[in-house]
Amino acid sequence: MKKEGLNRKENTVRAARKFLSYFVILLYWEALLHFQLHSSLEDLGLWNILFMIPIAFLMSSLSGLFRFSRINDLIDLIMTLGVSLFYLINLIYYKTFGSLFSFSMMGAGGDAVTNFWWSMKSTLNENLIVIILFEVPALYILYQSLIKKKENGPYRFVLHIAMMVLAIVTWLGIVAALPLTGTADHSAYGAYHSRYIDTDTASAKLGILPNFIVEAKCSFFGSDDASAVLQNAEDVEIEELSVEKEEVILYNEYEGLNFSRLSSKSEDSTIKALCDYLASEAPSTKNEYTGLFEGYNLIYICAESFSRMAIDETVTPTLYKMANNGIVLDNYYNSFKNVTTNGEYAILTGLWPDVARQETNMGKLTGTMGQSIDKNMSFALGNMFNLSEDLQSRGYHNYLGNYYGRNRTLPNMGFDCKFMNDGMKFTTAWPASDLEMMEQSVDDYINDDRFVTYYMTFSGHGNYTTDNIMVYRNINTVNKLLDRYLPTSATGYLSANYELEKAMTYLLERLEEAGKLENTVIVLAGDHYPYYLTDYGFEALTGEDMDQNFESFRSTCIIYNAGLKKKIEVDTPCCNVDIIPTIYNLFNIRYDSRLYAGTDIFGDGFHVAQIYNKSFVTKYVKYNYSTGKAQWLVDTEEYDDELLDKYLESAINIVKNRYMMSIQIEESDFYEYVCENYDISSIREEGFLANNDIEEIIDEFVRSERFKEYQ
């Protein structure tokens, strides 16, 4: 009996040591990566540490299962290498793309390695010492096993079960304790439960590995976020605005589209919630710029890594001319840090993509745009112009059509497309030339009476060294044109975008030769921030200190028409999702503003420049979502504190609602439900009521805010 008790004690001690070793190793990895990302351990909080406990229990339960020491060593080595590889992938991904690797992006992992390997090699070389540091635990296990030949014997099976149970219990206990520090969105509780949070913010609150586990759970089983329910928020103005209303007010809505009626027809809880939310949302009104470009041609460009920093009067004079004439947006923000299809989806649909906790259909493509391949996208740019103007929109991209699945997503949005090796040939592969794309595509449409053309460019892609063929091709020319010294990444960035400059110069020349320049509108916006650009490069190009929260996202969106005699300058805060409703208004395309997250920049309503992590800028305040802190842009002493608090609360809720509305529209295929119950083809017929139920229409009007205005 004494010997048996001793064995039990030895087993317990061995299991405890195994747990402690894994707990220390996990903390080591978490702290090492955290330091690499933030250059400090100050923000490595209590929850980051606590969540390592159940993970250590889980790993310990899988260790020491076999009688043979070498098999147990192998299991320990595989687990250690596997988890260290997770941290290394996040390190390299962050150093390359500027953010952490989310679970929803796992499907793009193979593409990232295949296509970005040439760029990742330099990242690997630059971080070689850190990579070795991440592998110290695995090297130690090898040393203990092969050199010291230390025994790694088994411990009792009941202890494996006990540690598995402890893993579950401690995880649930930590989750239950999260509200102790608050339940706000920017708290650890909010980071764990929110359907609304991004990977970087949540990882900072919970830990990088724990958040990845939470994202995996959300992807397969959905989110339990109670705040994901859409709730209408009051649009609060902190200034009393005196606005003279015209006798006749025209609204951007589809006549007869009754969301209250649609809600009663559906049994789906998400669709009902969307209908109820949209039924109480007020549509925007038409304005003095409605129809400014009616009947014009449209060339719509999503430009790879384009930003205000690509615009230089001496290096890129065509882009400079376009950015400083036409409609000039002085307060435009590019919402996204990385991932091209996020920005692309936003500017093609006027909706927000899911940036982290997407309920993923793993059999489909990665990201919201990829998940949209079999969803109804009737209200996306191509489909809307095709239906409204009775034409066929064209789309072009100077890379492979199957990359990000654009050969399926873009046609679903209404574009007849050509890609690399599918209608076009290029002299380089990664990146390919924007100029060559223009040269091979303009003749397809230049002689048409009306055309709508979409381009997804590629030449501006990083990295911004001479390893990049576009940088290598243009750097000598750029150095000759530059009138000042710039660091390597800044010069490289301008050199990559010089190919876009040549493409735009060629395009304008061809339009002018064809007599189409003055009746063509060119819209050009970036997909995301140029994440390969160093902080030093940013500061050299802008003359500003690098600000990761707001200023790095402040960008430009070109809306250029050579026929405008005087530029139109707009100071309204706006971002990617606002482009679509603005273009529809300028072209007098009949649309229902309630079906979009964006807002026409010339219209009424709540105007906000929203960033991917749910921070935002309005004319009154900058709000940092990750910290919960507000920076007021007005003299707060002139306003009542209660009014300011009410305005900020309202703004936060509006931003959240627009994001939640967007992802629920895509996930529930809400547009399909709308089109099943409303004849969208009627938008070409002025005044036609698709649901010709006059009592229903009168009832909806009497319950609306407009009825009160008319009274």
Q: Is pLDDT at 707 greater than 60 in this prediction?
A: no
Same domain, 302 and 417: yes
Same domain, 586 and 498: yes
pLDDT tens track for 338-389: 889 999 999 999 999 988 777 666 556 678 898 899 999 999 999 999 999 8
Say which CATH number the domain at 325 has: 3.40.720.10
220 C-beta neighbours (distance < 10 Å), count: 11
Residue 35: inside a domain, yes or no?
A: yes
Same domain, 213 and 288: no
Percent of the chain with pLDDT over 90: 65
Rounded to 5 degrees, φ, ψ at 365 are -75, 165
Same domain, 479 and 385: yes
Same domain, 175 and 291: no
- Residue 70 has a pLDDT of 80
- Residue 143 has a pLDDT of 86
For 84-118, what is the HEC assignment? Answer: HHHHHHHHHHHHHHCCCCCHHHHHHHHHHHHHHHH
- Residue 120 has a pLDDT of 67
Residue 703: inside a domain, yes or no?
A: no
Same domain, 65 and 131: yes
pLDDT tens track for 15-38: 898 999 999 999 999 999 999 988
Question: Pick from 227, 249, 264: which residue ends a domain?
Answer: 227
Q: Is pLDDT at 413 greater than 60 in this prediction?
A: yes
Q: Is pLDDT at 160 greater than 60 in this prediction?
A: yes
User: How far apart are the C-alpha atoms of 150 and 668, rounded to whole Å?
Assistant: 56
Which residues face 521 on adjacent strands? 298
Same domain, 393 and 498: yes
Instruction: Note whether 185 and 226 are within 8 A (CB).
Output: no
- Residue 246 has a pLDDT of 45
Q: Which pLDDT band holds residue 239 (cuts at 50, 70, 90)?
A: low
Give the sign of the dihedral formed by CA 302, CA 304, CA 308, CA 314.
negative
pLDDT tens track for 277-287: 999 899 999 99
Question: Pick from 227, 261, 296: which residue ends a domain?
Answer: 227
User: How far apart are the C-alpha atoms of 663 and 348, rounded to whole Å?
Assistant: 15
- Residue 394 has a pLDDT of 98
User: How far apart are the C-alpha atoms of 587 and 249, rounded to whole Å?
Assistant: 18
Give how many domains the chain has, as a whole number.
2
* Segments forming the whole domain that contains residue 9: 2-227
pLDDT tens track for 241-253: 333 444 457 889 9
Q: Is pLDDT at 6 greater than 80 in this prediction?
A: no
- Residue 292 has a pLDDT of 97
User: How far apart are the C-alpha atoms of 57 and 174, rounded to whole Å?
Assistant: 14
Q: Which pLDDT band holds residue 112 (cuts at 50, 70, 90)?
A: low
- Residue 223 has a pLDDT of 72
Q: How far is CA 646 from the centre of its chain?
A: 28
- Residue 687 has a pLDDT of 36
Residue at token pair 């304005």: 287
Give the closest residue to 665 by CA, choosing from 386, 368, 262: 368
Residue 697: inside a domain, yes or no?
A: no
Question: Pick from 199, 227, 255: which residue ends a domain?
Answer: 227
- Mean of the pLDDT values across residues 606-615? 94
Same domain, 465 and 554: yes
The two tokens of residue 215 are 């994202």
Instruction: Note whether 316 and 497 are within 8 A (CB).
Output: yes
pLDDT tens track for 469-515: 999 999 999 999 998 999 999 999 999 999 999 999 999 999 999 99
Q: Is pLDDT at 299 greater than 70 in this prediction?
A: yes
- Residue 67 has a pLDDT of 77
Q: Which pLDDT band holds residue 686 (cuts at 50, 70, 90)?
A: very low
Q: What is the pTM of this model?
A: 0.89
- Residue 693 has a pLDDT of 43
Percent of the chain with pLDDT over 70: 88
Q: Is pLDDT at 534 greater than 70 in this prediction?
A: yes
User: How far apart are the C-alpha atoms of 173 and 170, rounded to whole Å?
Assistant: 5
pLDDT tens track for 266-278: 999 999 999 999 9
- The β-bridge relationship of strands 616-617 and 609-610 is antiparallel
Mean pLDDT over each residue of the chain, to the nearest integer: 88
pLDDT tens track for 553-592: 999 999 999 999 899 999 999 999 999 999 999 999 999 9
Residue 120: inside a domain, yes or no?
A: yes
Same domain, 299 and 220: no
Give the closest residue to 665 by CA, choosing from 335, 303, 352, 241: 352
Q: Is pLDDT at 4 greater than 80 in this prediction?
A: no
Q: Is pLDDT at 156 greater than 70 in this prediction?
A: yes
Residue 250: inside a domain, yes or no?
A: no
The two tokens of residue 444 are 């397809």
Q: Which pLDDT band holds residue 217 (cuts at 50, 70, 90)?
A: confident
- The β-bridge relationship of strands 621-624 and 616-617 is antiparallel
- Residue 113 has a pLDDT of 55
Instruction: Note whether 349 and 380 are within 8 A (CB).
Output: yes
Residue 423: inside a domain, yes or no?
A: yes
- Residue 170 has a pLDDT of 97
The two tokens of residue 532 are 């390969």
Residue 601: inside a domain, yes or no?
A: yes
Same domain, 460 and 318: yes
User: How far apart are the C-alpha atoms of 24 and 244, rounded to whole Å?
Assistant: 67
Same domain, 460 and 356: yes
Beta-strand runs (E) in 457-601? 520-526, 557-560, 568-570, 574-575
Q: Is pLDDT at 456 greater than 80 in this prediction?
A: yes
Residue 664: inside a domain, yes or no?
A: no
Same domain, 310 and 415: yes
